[in-house]
Structure 1
């Protein structure tokens, strides 16, 4: 027997199970006015053993800052090379804050300042993109 998506949803509803769909997507949607802080790092010496891992570990310490609603740390994905894709960076960080004021508090937080002190010598270039959800 072949059951399509609608069939599975109907079966789940008949059994009284919650159905994931547009309601789940709406619940996960960003809130208007939240701030997204996306930072890209280029290492001074990308070939030096351990530098990337030290930077990643340092970025993950920022999770201790209470104003951060979401923190993602990543490296370039092995996606198709296209003219609009810049994968020249070595590490990225994406943070979500409820407000611009929360992001300002993050900048002054001792954990953030410690991160800059301990990892600042690892990067040659940093680019920041800040945006507000609309």
Structure 2
């Protein structure tokens, strides 16, 4: 028996609608972290690929801290240049926490202190934005 693309897509749509009406496809619970900790780093030597790689590796190591619920390590995106976009930083980290207590525990965690001790010589400037989710 051969199935055409149209039959396959139609069958999938019908099955999806049936499951949704039966309540099987309930909306996923909102699992987004309640507190986001966004840190922007400016390197002392912005042209050093080795410094950037070392900082990125160090930031990624912070994922091992128990209270970190999510992590995104990035560099400036090559998006449209606009007056409201600041892409002057070199590396960023966006960490998610359940609450302020989790972020507080992160700040004094030995892995975080080790990261700062071993990497602070790489940056000339750091800016932090902490945001609490509004329900």
> TM-score scaled to structure 1, two decimals?
0.82
Provide the aligned C-alpha RMSD in A: 2.8
Per the alignment, residue 123 of structure 1 pairs with 123
Per the alignment, residue 9 of structure 1 pairs with 13
> TM-score scaled to structure 2, two decimals?
0.82
In the TM superposition, what whole-angstrom CA distance separates every residue of 1:43-70 from its partner, at most 9, and x where no partner exists?
A: 0011123000000000011011000001
- CA, structure 1 residues 77+22, in 2 after alignment: closer, same or farther (shift >3 Å)? farther
Task: Point out 4+ residue stretches in structure 1 off by more than 6 angstroms.
Answer: 19-22
Which of 18, 29, 32 in structure 2 is aligned with 1:30?
Answer: 32
Count of aligned positions: 128
Which blocks of at least 5 consecutive residues in structure 1 are unaligned?
none
**Larger CA Rg, structure 1 vs 2:** 2
Aligned-partner Cα distance in 1 for 2:98–2:48: 37
Per the alignment, residue 56 of structure 1 pairs with 56
Which blocks of at least 5 consecutive residues in structure 2 are unaligned?
none
